[in-house]
Amino acid sequence: MVQVQDFVRHSDSSLKSFLRGSRVSDIVRFGVSLPRKLSDDFDKYIAEDQYTNRSEAIRDLIRNELIKDEWQHSGTQIAGAIIFVYDHHVRNLLDKIVTVQHDFHGLIISGQHIHLDHDNCLEILAVRGESGYVQALYKKIKALKGVKHISLNMSSTGQNIS
């Protein structure tokens, strides 16, 4: 039987779990000291990104940093996108892009080609594989004459995210 003093020992956020008999020990609470301006800026960030509370925003920031750290390790599986704009009038550029894509065919899940205007095309490559190989593909395309802008957006495959 649940006693009144048991209710007092648990916060409202964990009350439902407590009443269901779940263990709340999977959640770790800790305090963070911040300068006032940083705290105010963080609260603005939370409001703009429509977080319901600071905890969820902090969890997302921690996850993002852990994922970035994960990318640095050789052999880490990532998913992401390589997005680049190029001038399709540059001689042999399209052939070179296709050759690079074929050289890295095991990483490329999908590609989309978009005509931006008479001179410029946008290419979006969905990629998945070891972070080092994905970065090598990015660098190969980046080095091609006629590629005006390129970005690599890496994410996790979701397997190691808690």
Q: Is 102 annotated as a binding residue?
A: yes
Task: Evaluate whether residue 10 is within a structural domain.
Answer: no
Do residues 151 and 112 share a domain? yes
Task: Evaluate whether residue 24 is within a structural domain.
Answer: no
Task: Evaluate whether residue 15 is within a structural domain.
Answer: no
The whole-model pTM stands at: 0.66
Phi, psi of 57 (to 5 degrees): -65, -45
Nearest to 129 by CA among 81, 57, 68: 81
Phi, psi of 155 (to 5 degrees): -140, 180
Do residues 99 and 121 share a domain? yes
Do residues 62 and 81 share a domain? no
Task: Evaluate whether residue 126 is within a structural domain.
Answer: yes
The tens digit of pLDDT for each residue in 44-86 reads 999 999 999 999 999 988 888 887 777 766 678 899 999 999 9
Q: Is 118 annotated as a binding residue?
A: no
Q: Is 10 annotated as a binding residue?
A: no
State the total domains in the chain: 2
- Containing structural domain, residue 120: 77-156
Q: Is 113 annotated as a binding residue?
A: yes
Do residues 94 and 124 share a domain? yes
The percent of the chain in helix, strand and coil, each rounded to the nearest 5, is 45, 25, 30
